[in-house]
Amino acid sequence: MTQISRNNPFDYRVGFGVDIHQLVEGRPLIIGGVEIDSPVGAMGHSDSDVLLHAIIDAILGAAALRDIGFHFPDTDDQYKGINSKILLKKAYDLVKEKGYQLGNLDTTVMLEAPKLNPHIPKMQEIIADVFQVDSDRISIKATTGEKMGFVGEGKGIRAYCSALICKM
Ligand code: MG
C-alpha cells in the first residue's frame, strides 16, 4: 500500500495573477524592478511595473487575500508613483502574517519590443531579493503578441504569474 503523506494538502496553495498596462510616450518602462530603455513606458498610478503587479496578485490570491487594488487602491495618493517593490514587500508581509512563505513563481511577460531576455537575470535577482530566496525559484519568461492584439500592436504590456506558497 502506498504510504500516505501526513502533510496537510492545504500546506501548499497556488495562486494566479495577471496585469496589463497601456504603453505611452513620456513614461519609464519598468519591468521586474528593472528600468528598460524604450521610447514608450507603462501608464498607471504607481511605477506601473506590470510584472511585479502580476506577482502581487498571484501571492495574494494563493493566500485568499483579495487583490492589489483592494490593498493598494489607485485612488490613494500615498501610492502615486510608488516603487512596486515596496508594494510587493507589503503584499508578501500579508502572506507571511497568514503563515505562508513563497515556494516558487513562474511568470510570463508579453511585450512586442524591446527584447526582455537580456534583462531577465537582473529581474530574477531583484525579485528573489524581495522574497529572500534563491533566484532559481523566480522564473521569468518573455513572449510577444506576434503583431496581433494590443500587445502585438505595441499598445500595451501584459504579465501573468503562477505562485506556489507553503506553510511556514
Ligand atoms: Mg498594474
Tens of pLDDT along the chain (168 residues)? 555 556 777 799 999 999 999 999 999 999 999 999 999 999 999 999 999 999 999 999 999 999 999 999 988 888 888 999 999 999 999 999 999 999 999 999 999 999 999 999 999 999 999 999 999 999 999 999 999 999 999 999 999 999 999 999
pLDDT at residue 10, as a whole number? 74
pLDDT at residue 4, as a whole number? 54
pLDDT at residue 6, as a whole number? 62
Q: CB-hemisphere CA count at 13 Å for 41?
A: 17
For ligand 1, the distance from its centroid to the CA atom of residue 7, given in whole angstroms, is: 36
For ligand 1, the distance from its centroid to the CA atom of residue 80, given in whole angstroms, is: 12
For ligand 1, the distance from its centroid to the CA atom of residue 30, given in whole angstroms, is: 11
Q: CB-hemisphere CA count at 13 Å for 44?
A: 27
For ligand 1, the distance from its centroid to the CA atom of residue 120, given in whole angstroms, is: 19
Whether the model clears a pTM of 0.85, i.e. scores above it, the answer is: yes
For ligand 1, the distance from its centroid to the CA atom of residue 18, given in whole angstroms, is: 9
C-alpha cell belonging to residue 27: 513614461
pLDDT at residue 5, as a whole number? 58
Nearest to 49 by CA among 35, 37, 31, 22: 31
The one-letter amino acid at 58: A
For ligand 1, the distance from its centroid to the CA atom of residue 53, given in whole angstroms, is: 5
Separation CA 134–CA 104 (nearest Å): 10
For ligand 1, the distance from its centroid to the CA atom of residue 140, given in whole angstroms, is: 17
* Burial (Cβ within 10 Å: 0-12, 13-18, ≥19) of residue 19: buried
For ligand 1, the distance from its centroid to the CA atom of residue 75, given in whole angstroms, is: 13
For ligand 1, the distance from its centroid to the CA atom of residue 83, given in whole angstroms, is: 12
Residue 135 · residue 88 · CB < 8 Å: no
Separation CA 86–CA 66 (nearest Å): 18
pLDDT at residue 3, as a whole number? 57
